Structure 1
Amino acid sequence: MRTFLKWVLRIVLMLVLAAVVVGFWKREEIQRLMAVNSLFAEDKIVHNFSHMDEAFLKVDLPRGDGPTWELPYGPGFDLPEGTDGWIEDRTVTSLLVMQNGQIRFEEYYLDTGPDDRRISWSVAKSYLSSLLGILLAEGAIDSLDDPVTKYAPELEGSAYDGATIRNVLNMASGVTFNEDYLDYDSDINRMGRVLALGGELDDFAASLQDSFTAPGETWQYVSIDTHVIGMVIRGATGRSVAELLTDRILQPLGLEQDGYYVTDGAGVAFVLGGLNFTTRDFARFGQVVLQNGSHNGQQLIPAEWIAEAVAPSAPTETGKIGYGYQWWIPVGAHEGEFLARGVYGQYIYFDQARDVLIVSTGADRNFRDPGVNEENIEMFRKIAQSL
């Protein structure tokens, strides 16, 4: 009996030691997974959205050595009635309003500040669209009607085989993908765990095999479509998205601070939602788009591309919000009214007719409630019209 107990004890000690070794070896992955599992917790979400580099791998987006683009302050104004209640209800963390290139209002909430680099979520998709437009104009990509497999051959045999660049830009790939953030087993949450554990999103995209319709026929918001755009860009140029975005757009902007992309385990940028900048630096990008791609005498983004990208070209339902090339067009939009949008309340709203730009960041855990997006757009309209 004593010999048996010694044997059992030895086995237990070996298992404990193995667990300790594995825990030490995988401690960073375990810490990231724990951080992801509490990323949206009510008591942590505001802090987490300003510290995404504590939960994920990242690559820096250096601002460069050039001068900062100073955003001048114009005359202040009173926000429309009801704005304070909206800010509280929607857990807004920052609100910046610009008109005629001047900051008319800027405020930070819930212990956030102007130096916080906030997560963009899907606002990042609109940045990537702008980069693609630049590369298309440069000739690195031949046509939007090229199949994505021309530049990303690893997608051959996947659900993306047969989809064009235009299809994925329009979120009309036809690929089956569950985007339910509240479902632990949804595709979007499985993708998040791949990201947290250092997996590779290229492999994840190539693993998708099911389609619900032919490419180009139906609009359905599929975030992994944007990753495929990133694969196309990397395949066409042989360079990383982080390098290209920094070179073509970010450094010419004169940002205040370096930004960063969340990345997967291979160092590939999480292009569908992983950008992190200060609110004012989000506004600098927005102001260039508002100015049809020009800044400081330089055409950073082709004006023709911006006009095409923000037109409602996707096959969305009649009477519903429109979609272009990774940009949103509100119901009843007038010419020059469009937006970039991310989950939990991230927005860049454009009203070119009034020369108004609004940046809003948030930590709204109720962002999926019926009518919330419409309420937010109406608030932005009220603010723009009150200037």
Structure 2
Amino acid sequence: MRTFGKWLGRVLLMLVLAAVVVGFWKREQIQRLIFVVTLFDADRIVENFSNMESAFLTVAVPRGDGPVTPLPAGPPLEMSAEISAWIVDADLTSLLVLKRGEVVFEDYYLGTTADDQRISWSLAKSFVSALFGVLLEEGAIGSLDDPVTQYAPKLAGTAYDGATIRNVLQMTSGVVFDEDYLDQRSDIQRMGRVLALGGLMDDFTASFTEIDAGRGARWNYVSLDTHVIGMVIRGATGRSMADLMSEKIIVPLGLESEPRFVSDGAGVAIVLGGLIMTTRDYARFAQMIAQNGQWNGRQIVPADWIAQTTVASAPTEAGQIGYGYQWWIPVGAETGEFLGRGIYGQYLYIDQVRDVVIVTTAADLQFREPGVHRNNVEMMRKIARATQ
């Protein structure tokens, strides 16, 4: 009996030591997982959104060694009491307004600064759209009606087998994917945990097998569709999204700092929402789009692609917000009015007729409440009209 007790004690000691070793070996993964679980906690969300490298692996998107493109100052725009109250209510962390490419308002809130590189969330999708348009014109991709499996054969036999590039650009793939950020059991939350533990995003995408609608028949916002666009681009070019985004979009813009993408364990950029950059650099991108793809005398993104991608072409419900190719078209939009949109209050608002660009970053825990998005759009419209 005493011998058995000694043996059992040794076994328990070995198990404890093994747990300590595993815990040390997996320390970074465990820390990232804890970060992901508390990512949206009210007392941490602002700081977290400026420090995403603590939660996820990241890859650089080189800005190149060219000069910074200046954003000149224009006549200052005074905010009304209504807009000032909205800034507080919407938990904005930054607000930047360009009129004719000049900064007429810029401020930072909740302890953030101009140097903070904030997570884009789904603003990144609009960057992917711009890059896709460049590669389409260059001939790397044949047609929007090509099946995604032509360029991403890993998706053969999955829920994406039979979907076209146009389907994933418009979010009409029909793939069943739970996008509820507030439910720890949802697919989008599972994805976050996969990334925190260094999993592979392509494998995660290929694990989906169910569709709930015919291809192109119904619009349903599925962030995974944007990852598939990235898979198509990587398959068509044999290059990484970070390198292509750098060469085709980022370097020509002359950004102030080097952006990064959240990545998976293989260094694959999470292009559906993982871009990290400053508010002023988001503004440079948005101003280029507002100028129909031109920047510093160079046509970066084809003008006809921007015209095509920023109109409501997806089959959204009547009277609801419209969707193009990874861009949103608000209800009651005027000509040339569209936006990039990310959870928790991230916006790239563009009014081409008034030549106004508005960038917001935020940490708004109420972003999903009824009427919040429409109110945000209305406030940005009021700012745009005030620049007249």
Classify the TM-score, shorter chain. Answer: over 0.9
Runs of 4+ in 1 over 6 A off after TM superposition: none
CA distance in 1, matches of 2:32, 2:219: 33
Paired AA for residue 163 in structure 1: A
Paired AA for residue 225 in structure 1: D
Structure 1 counterpart SS, 2:77: coil
Offset at 1:92? 0.3
Residue matched to 1:156? 156
Are the aligned partners of 1:158 and 1:208 in contact in 2 as well (CA < 8 Å)?
yes
Deviations 1:267-296 (A, max 9, x none): 000000000000000000011000000011
Are the aligned partners of 2:134 and 2:302 in contact in 1 as well (CA < 8 Å)?
yes
Residue matched to 1:270? 270
Are the aligned partners of 1:80 and 1:382 in contact in 2 as well (CA < 8 Å)?
no
Are the aligned partners of 2:62 and 2:243 in contact in 1 as well (CA < 8 Å)?
no
Offset at 1:3? 2.1
Paired AA for residue 358 in structure 1: I
Offset at 1:214? 1.1
Structure 2 counterpart SS, 1:353: coil
Paired AA for residue 340 in structure 1: G
Paired AA for residue 44 in structure 2: K
CA distance in 1, matches of 2:372, 2:7: 62
CA distance in 1, matches of 2:128, 2:237: 14
Residue matched to 2:209? 209
Deviations 1:103-128 (A, max 9, x none): 00000001100000000000000000
Deviations 1:335-364 (A, max 9, x none): 000000000110000000100000000001
Residue matched to 2:315? 315
1:290-369 equivalent positions in 2, closer than 5 A: 290-369=290-369
Are the aligned partners of 1:97 and 1:103 in contact in 2 as well (CA < 8 Å)?
yes
Q: Which runs of 5+ in 1 are unaligned?
A: none
CA distance in 2, matches of 1:296, 1:82: 36
Residue matched to 2:138? 138
Offset at 1:378? 0.3
Offset at 1:88? 1.2
Between stretches 229-238 and 5-14, larger displacement belongs to 5-14
Offset at 1:7? 1.7
Provide the TM-score with structure 1 as the length reference.
Answer: 0.99
Offset at 1:8? 1.9
CA distance in 1, matches of 2:34, 2:291: 42
Are the aligned partners of 1:80 and 1:386 in contact in 2 as well (CA < 8 Å)?
no
CA distance in 2, matches of 1:24, 1:214: 48
Structure 2 counterpart SS, 1:93: strand
CA distance in 2, matches of 1:21, 1:282: 43
Paired AA for residue 317 in structure 2: E
CA distance in 1, matches of 2:249, 2:80: 34
Residue matched to 1:37? 37
Paired AA for residue 335 in structure 2: E
Are the aligned partners of 1:96 and 1:360 in contact in 2 as well (CA < 8 Å)?
yes
Paired AA for residue 85 in structure 1: A
What RMSD, in angstroms, separates the aligned Cα atoms of the two structures? Answer: 0.7
Paired AA for residue 218 in structure 1: R
Offset at 1:5? 2.2
Residue matched to 2:19? 19
Offset at 1:12? 1.0
Between stretches 211-220 and 77-86, larger displacement belongs to 77-86
Residue matched to 2:58? 58
Name the count of aligned residue pairs: 387
Offset at 1:18? 0.7
CA distance in 2, matches of 1:337, 1:3: 80
CA distance in 2, matches of 1:305, 1:150: 22
Deviations 1:113-166 (A, max 9, x none): 000000000000000000000000000000000000000000000000000000
Residue matched to 1:110? 110
CA distance in 2, matches of 1:189, 1:40: 11
CA distance in 2, matches of 1:123, 1:86: 21
Identity of aligned residues (%): 64
